[in-house]
Amino acid sequence: MGLDGVELVMAVEEEFQIAISDSEANECSTVRKLVELVHSRLRHSSTDPCLSKHSFYLARRNLISMLQTQRNEIKPDINLEEIIPKKKRKKLWKEVTMVR
């Protein structure tokens, strides 16, 4: 995992107040895998809304806005490196984790 990936993991850890091990971070190559990992760490009850769905929609909304792309282009299994241009990654990693 490169520096951009490490920064993304650190931003997610800070935003959700969770810890992600290096081995877990290396497994998070898609949006879905990252959302599932975060969801597995958050406490929730049966009356709470689906956190994984909510997390995906939030991440997708931010990615659409930042990348100026269409909604159908951001799918849970898409590789993050395919949709985020290398030149803009550091800045976009920070922005994508911000709740709006």
Question: Which stretches of the chain score pLDDT less than 70?
Answer: 1, 43-49, 93, 95-100
**pLDDT for the residue numbered 38:** 86
Domain boundaries, the chain: 3-96
Per the CB < 8 A criterion, the answer to whether 83 and 74 are in contact is: yes
In 1-100, at which residue ranges do the beta strands (DSSP E only) sit? none
Residues 93-96: contacts with CB under 8 Å, at least 24 apart: 93/4, 93/7, 93/8, 93/11, 94/7, 94/11, 95/62, 95/66, 96/8, 96/59, 96/62, 96/63, 96/66
pLDDT tens-digit series, residues 42-64: 765 455 567 777 778 877 887 78
**pLDDT for the residue numbered 78:** 86
**pLDDT for the residue numbered 6:** 80
The model's pTM:
0.46
